[in-house]
Amino acid sequence: MNGLHDMGGLQGYGPVQIQANEPLFHGEWERRALGVTVAMGASGLWNIDLARSARESLPPLDYVQGPYYAIWTQALQNLLIERGLITAEELAQGQPITQPMAGVRVLKAAEVDAALAKGSPADRPSTQAPRFAVGQRVRALNLNPQGHTRLPRYVRGHVGTVVLHHGSHVLPDQHVNKMLPPFDGTAEHLYTVVFDGTELWGPQAEAGHQVSVDAWESYLEPASEAAPE
């Protein structure tokens, strides 16, 4: 989705505001928002791409104006309501009205350390040979899907060079296909592709800079020598 979350190369946001000795959290609500979001993620009722998609799908002005943990909180509420764990009425009243959904996995305090240390690796075995090789020139396709994708707009249509191959990873665009588990775990080879600044930004590019993205195989095509300008 071509949303406001896809910020690379936008202009007009001003200088980076750096807070000296910034606290980890700005108020108690940020601490709890982080903890509740991570804990509820362990329910397994959505995956990381569905969570990202929920954040990207918020009203655009809410996305750019809110504190980041407010974006997380709003997206979490939407995920919970969509799956029927809670209702908007319950949220408004601050107490349960409906029966709890059965079978929801609850992360216990004693399980937290192991769950965080394990994480959720995205690599999957693949029987497919990789289509691209390190050193190969590739073009990022001009894709504009309505749904979730991880191909940022600023590289679409541009030619770069494969510098790393990471094996096969779960493809975000399909990982969001199903709202509930079992999710679509289709995986593709994943590459780091580096682009020259001038390729991305033309004559305005700063001197001597390159930018890479991590791109799945279906985001790329071989770059022909007679590439269109």
Total of chain residues touching other proteins, rule CB under 8 A: 98
Q: Which stretch binds other proteins (CB under 8 A): 34-42, 128-136, 179-187, 221-229?
A: 34-42
At residue 12, φ and ψ (nearest 5 deg) are 105, 5
> With binding defined as CB under 8 A, does residue 187 bind other proteins?
no
Q: Give the distance from CA 122 to its chain's centroid.
A: 12
- 197 vs 209: CA distance, rounded Å: 5
Q: Which of residues 79-108 bind other proteins (CB under 8 A)?
A: 80, 85-86, 90-91, 94-96, 100-101, 104, 106-108
Q: Least distance in Å: CB of 18 to other proteins?
A: 5
- 219 vs 210: CA distance, rounded Å: 19
Q: Least distance in Å: CB of 119 to other proteins?
A: 4
Q: Which of residues 202-221 bind other proteins (CB under 8 A)?
A: 205-206, 208-216
- 145 vs 121: CA distance, rounded Å: 25
> With binding defined as CB under 8 A, does residue 24 bind other proteins?
yes
Q: Which stretch binds other proteins (CB under 8 A): 6-14, 127-135, 177-185, 221-229?
A: 6-14
> With binding defined as CB under 8 A, does residue 75 bind other proteins?
no
Nearer to other proteins, 101 or 224 (CB): 101
Task: Return the number of other C-beta atoms located less than 10 Å from residue 56's C-beta.
Answer: 19
> With binding defined as CB under 8 A, does residue 55 bind other proteins?
yes
Site string for other proteins, 132-161 (x = CB under 8 A): ------------------xxx-x-------
> How does 93-113 read in b/e, with b if 16+ C-beta sit within 10 Å?
eeeeeeeeeeeeeebeeeeee
Closest to 55 (Cα-Cα) out of 118, 125, 128, 4? 4
Q: What is the CA radius of gyration of the chain?
A: 21
